[in-house]
Amino acid sequence: MSFDPLQAWRLDEEPYYAPQAEELAAFEAAHALRLPVLLKGPTGCGKTRFVEHMAWRLNKPLVTVACHDDLSASDLVGRWLLDAQGTRWQDGPLTQAARYGALCYLDEVVEARADTTVVLHPLTDARRILPLTSCNELLHAHPDFQLVVSYNPGYQGMHKTLKPSTRQRFVGLEFSYPGAGQEAAIVAHEGLVDASLARQLVAVAEQTRRLKEHGLTEGASTRMLIHAASLTRHGLSPRVACLQAITCPLSDDPDLATALAAAVDASFAH
């Protein structure tokens, strides 16, 4: 077998993912058409894990980029680098994915600068091209290439948004936290704790999510519950583990901290 430039981006093991609804079939239909996909949902509800799982199911490498305010088009596309061997062109992660045929996942895409999202346009319509103006190449995307982006409308919507000419190129999938039973199963599986403790942790999370109406930016994610579960396996009581993994990171506001601590106390006696 020949050299695989995307080897580092392949997934060796099946990432654990518990399907919530029809999202597997929906993604596969979009993938069959190579339509770009937009994932919406709150922090830590499993969007990244879902993309990893789909990449594994479809047996495709997965190139992931965490977007931010300073992410520029050339961070995605590539640049001429001055290194020890002199100057050489270096494909950016988007170019690598388009050239060799990977899923390319842009996490929190609304955080990126405008030039970054516009560079996606010719890749996400019928043309499927990426003009590399700096090295004078018009790259036609590999047949396997597919773009996936995500964002959290509850948080990001306050600050930034995608412009319509970008949004309308994507098909969308909406995510939320799993149902209580399923979430407890995930926490038990990933946190290596018994079902009873997992259910108690999910009950804490549900209380924190209700605090969004009282000013909390985001409720506890499934990831936080797994953290709390794991800490109990290293000698912390469930209550202390929750304060450490959930209450303390979630908010700096004294009133919200008190409400969060009360949610913990309601589940776990001292």
Q: Tell which residue, 12, 33, 109, has the closest CA to residue 119.
A: 109
DSSP state, residue 214: G
Report which DSSP code applies to 243.
Answer: I
Which candidate, 170, 167, 149, 39, places its Cα nearest to that of 103? Answer: 149
Q: Which is nearer to a copy of itself, 30 or 184 (CB)?
A: 30
Whether residue 67 contacts residue 116, with contact meaning beta carbons closer than 8 Å, is answered with yes
Among residues 195, 81, 134, the alpha carbon closest in space to that of 186 is found at 195
Q: How far is the CB of 177 from a copy of itself (least distance, A)?
A: 12
169, 121 Cβ separation under 8 angstroms: yes
Closest distance of CB 117 from a copy of itself, Å: 8
Give the containing element (helix H, strand E) for 28: helix 23-33
- C-beta closer to a copy of itself: residue 184 or 256: 256
- Supply the minimum distance, in Å, between the C-beta of residue 35 and a copy of itself: 6
In the complex with a copy of itself, which residue's Cβ is closer, 4 or 115? 115
- Choose between 184 and 225: whose C-beta lies nearer to a copy of itself: 225
Burial class (CB in 10 A: 0-12, 13-18, 19+), 54: buried
- Cβ atoms 38, 170 nearer than 8 A: yes
Separation between Cα atoms, residue 9 and residue 142, nearest integer Å = 16
CB of 245 to a copy of itself, least distance (A): 5
Cβ proximity to a copy of itself: between 125 and 194 the closer is 125
Residue 178 C-beta: closest distance to a copy of itself, Å: 16
Cβ 65 to a copy of itself shortest distance, Å: 8
Q: Which is nearer to a copy of itself, 115 or 194 (CB)?
A: 115
